[in-house]
Amino acid sequence: MIFIDIELDAPHAAGFARTLATSLRESQLILIADSPRYAVEAFRLDAASYLVRPFDRGMLEKAVDRAIVRLRAAGRPAIAVQVEKGRVERVYVDDITFIESVGYRRLVHTGSGVYEEMKMILSAFMDKLERLRPGQFITPYRGYIVNLKAVREVENDRIVLNDGSFILIKRSDHARIAGLFSRWKSLS
């Protein structure tokens, strides 16, 4: 965990923070400043937190707790999901059950809830997921991406998920989907 006072020497501190963020990926940055003017830079650096002076002990503890959670989750790939008005949520790839496209919205279903993605198209999701976890996600039907880790079984007309819910599939796609599931299960 690295604390950086971005106001000490702003141009140099920002460059130093960028260097740290790229070279020490296993560390977590907590940036401190006198105003919110460097918050966008903190977001770009994927800082664990951005504290604006004056801050109290509770705010500091929350920032440290967030950094600790992120350190523990290191090595767990995640994607950024833009949910509303520019707010971005980090969603761990292995926590995704499935993603569905409904009209102009993408609903990212996880064990802890559903996130409504505002910008990314389904094919971009699939590209990211395939880079992070090759072979773990499939597109069984138009408008869906399914995490094979969340699949209990593949029936003739549906994929049954571990929580009992299901996603319908075309019977003509059953053999392809069952084969992908079987292959993934044998490798994991």
CB contact set of 154 (below 8 Å; sequence gap of 6+): 160, 169, 174, 177, 178, 181
Q: What is the average pLDDT score of the chain?
A: 86
Of residues 187 and 178, which shows the higher confidence score?
A: 178
Question: In this predicted model, what pLDDT tens digit does every residue of 12-31 receive, in sequence order?
Answer: 666 777 676 665 656 788 98
3-state secondary structure of 170: coil
pLDDT band for position 52 (50/70/90)?
Answer: very high
**Structural domains of the chain, count:** 2
pTM exceeds 0.85 for this model:
no
50 and 115 inside one domain: no
Asked if residue 55 has pLDDT above 60, the reply is yes
40 and 110 inside one domain: no
Domain boundary among 72, 87, 119: 72
Asked if residue 10 has pLDDT above 60, the reply is no
Rounded to an integer, what is the distance from CA 20 to the centroid of its chain? 22
34 and 127 inside one domain: no
Asked whether 106 and 122 are in contact (CB, 8 A), the reply is yes
Residue span of the structural domain in which 25 resides: 2-72
Amino acid 23: pLDDT:
59
Mean per-residue pLDDT for 105-128? Answer: 90
Question: In this predicted model, what pLDDT tens digit does every residue of 79-90 receive, in sequence order?
Answer: 888 877 767 888
Asked if residue 157 has pLDDT above 90, the reply is yes
83 and 55 inside one domain: no
CATH of the domain at 101: 2.40.50.1020
Residue spans of alpha helices (H) in 76-173:
122-132
